[in-house]
Amino acid sequence: MPDYTNIIQEFVWQYNDRQPNFPRTHRFLNFWHEEIEAVIETVNLTFTDKDDRVRIAKGIFDIG
């Protein structure tokens, strides 16, 4: 809804991707940037490690 820029919108997507580069996530973000008018302000990515602990991926995406 690009007409409502004052509303915080959230998009949640769950899928399998390959660490540490997360190529599927990058393809999605590149598609969004090229094809959709809405701007992504923040990307938060979490994943489970080999010991099934939830981790936050930091420093992977350059937004802006």
pTM here? Answer: 0.67
The 8-class DSSP code of residue 30 comes to H
What is the tens place of the pLDDT at every residue in 6-60? 777 777 888 888 888 889 988 988 998 899 887 888 888 888 888 989 888 876 6
Under 8 Å between Cβ of 47 and 25: no
β-bridge partners, 57: 45
The pLDDT value given to residue 63: 56
Q: Which domain holds residue 58?
A: 1-64
The pLDDT value given to residue 35: 93
Domain count, the chain: 1
| Residue 18 CB partners (closer than 8 Å, separation 6+) | 24
